[in-house]
A and B are shown apart, each in its own frame.
Chain A
Amino acid sequence: MSKDIRIKKGLDIKLVGEAEKTTENAIVSNFYYIRPEDFHSIIPKLVAKEGTRVKAGETLFYNKDNEAMKFVSPVSGEVTEVQRGPRRRIDAIKITADKEQSYLDHGKFDASADADKIKAHLLASGCWAFVKQRPYDVVANPNHSPKAIFISGYASAPLAADLDYTLAGKEAELQAAVSALSKLTEGKVHVSVGNNNSPLAGLNDVSVHKVSGPHPSGNVGTLINKVDPINKGEVVWTVNAQDLVIIGELLLTGKFNAERVVALAGSSVKKPRYFRTKIGSEVATMVYDNGVDKDGNDRIISGNVLTGKKVAPDGALDYYSNVLTVIPEGDDYEFFGWNKPIFNKISTSRALTFSWLNPKKKYDLNTNTNGEHRAFVVTGSYEEVFPLDIYPMQILKACMYKDLDEMEALGMYEVAPEDFALTEFICVSKQPHQKIIREGLDLMLKEIG
């Protein structure tokens, strides 16, 4: 049964620098970086020590709590450096890529296999990392049996990669992946699409939902909340649509092919468009040849402007992102910035802010916080951009004073940090909502599990 989902609460943030729909091959990166911090809450146990030669798809490290869960190299080459932080925590594994790529053969997969075999296959081949779970928004625990699996095929975030474009022609891989995933749940695989032309719209073994409305209509959290909200004791899994391609290709060919079409976007990019590249590539391979000023004062973000991670100019694309955004830094003072009329920034109020006059205008926003951090004061504004049936400010406060019972009662099992990106964006008190939710989830994971 499919269901149309239309949300009214939300906010489309229209920014300058949307990627043009042409795809180029990015310059092949010499070095690739895998950062264990991308896999939240996983403690890595290193397998490929410095100097080890690996093939693409060969294990770099595994999950300390579950030895079967491998994390693999996106390319073949040599592990040249293991960068460590405080207490010998692994910050990044640097792989110097071979000129000629070779792939570890995980074996073609029998489509009629049962759930346990599929799980084992995905765990061993490194594809399990793409399967995340809620509650807690972490890499899924393979011992659970999810009540359903959710995939969002509609990207509504600002400057997001258009999935209809990046996934076009990948129907076979997508179908293989969702067919395999559908065996891992007693329930259904729910897929959301923006329109009927989506490559995901015609898939079998899934329940397709058409979503419309402002961001966060494309967030998987919105889909879950509207279709089948998570209750205490239940688990759902989520997979990013673009990662289905990697899972599908693995099942069809036995190769772990970390290739991904990534949108390079943002107002600092002169020629924003799409690139074919690989997980862990250096951002420099895309950013500087395409009109980003090398000495410019810009913020490079792996991911979108709401939920992405800040990366250094010599940093790399993270494991889950399919968009690379470059926007100007805003580390300057603004004369009377707090009381003069504002025409060039977005606001949901009309307090001498005039973005309501022209809802279609695209904005060039920088990273300035537009004000200082304060306690929560204004009420009622979060609810306007928050479509879930949850009280946003109350749950944030519950996280801040660490009341586990209240967090549970208010719906903490249902949320992920990204659901609070819009409330964080509009927050008059400039509170770090996503960080508060992440810390709340971590606390629950530790105390309740």
Chain B
Amino acid sequence: MGLKQNLHNFKEKNKDKKWLPGFNALFTFLYMPNETTHNGTHIKAADDLKRTMNTVIMALVPCLIFGMFNAGYQHHLAQGLIESADGFFGASFWTWDNFVIGLWKVLPLVIVSYGVGLAVEFIFAIIKGHEVEEGYLVTGMLVPLIVPVDIPLWMLAVAVVFGVVIGKEVFGGTGMNILNPALTIRAFLFFAYPTWMSGDKVWIHGAVERDQAIAAGQNLDAISGETILGTLAQNKEVGYNVMDMFYGIIPGSVGETSTLLILLGALFLIFTKIGSWRIMLSSVIGALVMGLIFNGVVSSGWITESSKFYGLMSTEFWHHLLIGGFAFGTVFMATDPVTASQTTKGKWIYGFLVGFISIMIRVFNPAYPEGVMLAILLMNVFAPTIDHYVVQGNVKKRMKRVKVKTA
């Protein structure tokens, strides 16, 4: 009673202040507002945007926690301090030491992502005089999960500012953007600081430091922390088995590795009806189709082992679902309702093309063997076009009705 009343009085007293949206953003986190309906429907369903966004965050939490353990595990493994873990519940994986290292490396990413991003959101809300929108709650959680663990924090901060301002706010904020803001942030990092976003050093904490130490003349072994895709792109033998890939005990961006937990998140999103199962399913189908085509090319002997695409093309088609960022991108990024297709039919087409193009870019881009980010951004751009043609179908049906009548 006391706190609620005090906050309410404070809000009423400062009604005309410019900074009020900033206060309201915090207030509405604590208490759902006392707003009532006017005319129109007098009752409203229980869901609001905060609840929707919160559901996505809940789906992401397992990936975040796993990512912390994995960051520490990969670090310790590369240092030769521990044995490699045997399966998902492997003894050397879920250890306190791993978690501490992970927390130490990943938490700053989360803090910078949320801190910088929300600061930009608050500033824009106050300048433009609207309430702080919830879109960044999910974006801020996605960003630390899709970057390499050793990315310098200042780069992340610059990218977040760029992504939120250019990716979202210039279009008018949450709901108006064309490109997925989290992927815009990642794309900025990818093109601005490519050495920190790909290669065989950035995926494991400590590998870059070790390299610098070697360069400085110390006598140490270099750490090689290639992702599976990186290995395949060089036509080398992969040192991980399929279950490792599925469980996610492999190097990669912080939260993208565990297909198992991403699958759990996907099921949660589908069950809660927050994520579109159509996009997820059609994207998986698209990826499998592309994978099968490549397998077909290999088995019909059109390319030989000497080809630089051989390693990725000959990867069994369904392994593509387990490696790289495909699962994470499909479940959490491609389904962003604002930037995906908005019509039911459009979602099928959009999802299929996301999967299809992801694998295509992945195979044909030897310098940087992953295509999910670029495929989703590309399809974000095409989503309105897909919708346009789907809606035109409805419009044409309506026009035909008139013609039948007048004929």
Question: Which A residues have a C-beta under 8 Å from some C-beta of B?
Answer: 13, 15, 158, 229, 231-233, 299, 301, 305-310, 325, 327, 329-339, 342, 345-353, 355, 365-381, 383, 389-391, 393-394, 409-411, 421, 424-430, 432-435
Contact = CB atoms under 8 A, between A and B. Distances in A.
Given A370-B32, A383-B344, A352 B51 contact: yes
A345 B399 CA distance: 41
A429 B32 contact: no
Contacts of B200: none
Contacts of A383: 344
A339 B43 contact: no
Interface stretch (B92-100, B180-188, B268-276): B268-276
A307 B41 CA distance: 6
Label chain A's interface by main secondary structure: loop
A332 B51 CA distance: 18
B12 to A, nearest CB: 12
B211 interface: no
Candidate in B172, B274, B387 with the most chain A CB atoms within 10 angstroms:
B274
B216 interface: no
B46 A370 contact: yes
Given A330-B34, A346-B45, A351-B274, 19 more contacts: A13-B43, A299-B42, A305-B41, A329-B36, A333-B8, A333-B34, A347-B45, A351-B51, A351-B54, A353-B46, A355-B46, A381-B273, A391-B391, A394-B342, A409-B395, A410-B391, A410-B394, A425-B43, A425-B44
B277 to A, nearest CB: 10
B31 interface: yes
A368 B34 contact: yes
B224 interface: no
Contacts of A233: 402
B17 interface: no
Contacts of A369: 33, 35-37, 44, 48
Contacts of A325: 42
Interface in B371-407: 387, 391, 394-395, 397-399, 401-402, 405
Contact of B405 (A231, A301, A424): A231
Nearest to B269: A351
Residues of B in contact with A, size category = 35 or more
A430 B48 contact: yes
B54 A338 contact: yes
Nearest to A346: B45
Contact of B47 (A327, A373, A428, A434): A428
A428 B49 contact: yes
B313 interface: no
B194 interface: no
A372 B35 contact: yes
Interface in B71-104: none
A340 B44 CA distance: 17
Nearest to A423: B41
A375 B174 contact: yes
Contact of A310 (B38, B50, B399, B405): B38
A409 B133 contact: no
B18 to A, nearest CB: 18
A421 B206 CA distance: 58
Q: Which 7 pairs across A and B sit closest by C-beta, in order of nearness?
A: A371-B48, A337-B32, A375-B175, A345-B46, A333-B31, A338-B50, A379-B342
Contact of B31 (A337, A380, A430, A432): A337
Nearest to B273: A349
Contacts of A379: 276, 337, 340, 342-343
A411 B40 contact: no
A329 B131 CA distance: 24
Contacts of A371: 32-33, 44, 47-51
A352 B55 contact: yes
Contact of B272 (A346, A349, A374, A380): A349
Nearest to A436: B40
A70 to B, nearest CB: 27
Contacts of B387: 394
Contacts of A327: 42-43
B8 A370 contact: no
Contact of A333 (B32, B40, B42): B32
B284 to A, nearest CB: 18
B48 A425 contact: no
A215 to B, nearest CB: 12
Nearest to A409: B395
Contacts of A389: 394, 397
Contact of B394 (A339, A368, A390, A428): A390
A331 B131 CA distance: 19
Contacts of B395: 409-410
Contacts of B135: 377
B48 A370 contact: yes
Contacts of B55: 349, 351-352
A157 to B, nearest CB: 11
A335 B32 CA distance: 6
A380 B344 CA distance: 7
Contact of B28 (A310, A331, A338): A338
B48 A365 contact: no
A369 B28 CA distance: 13
Contacts of B52: 349, 351, 377-378, 428
A428 to B, nearest CB: 5
A370 B176 CA distance: 23
A107 B201 CA distance: 96
Contacts of A352: 51, 55, 272
A61 to B, nearest CB: 23
Given A369-B35, A374-B174, A429-B175, A349 B274 contact: yes
B21 to A, nearest CB: 11
Nearest to B43: A365
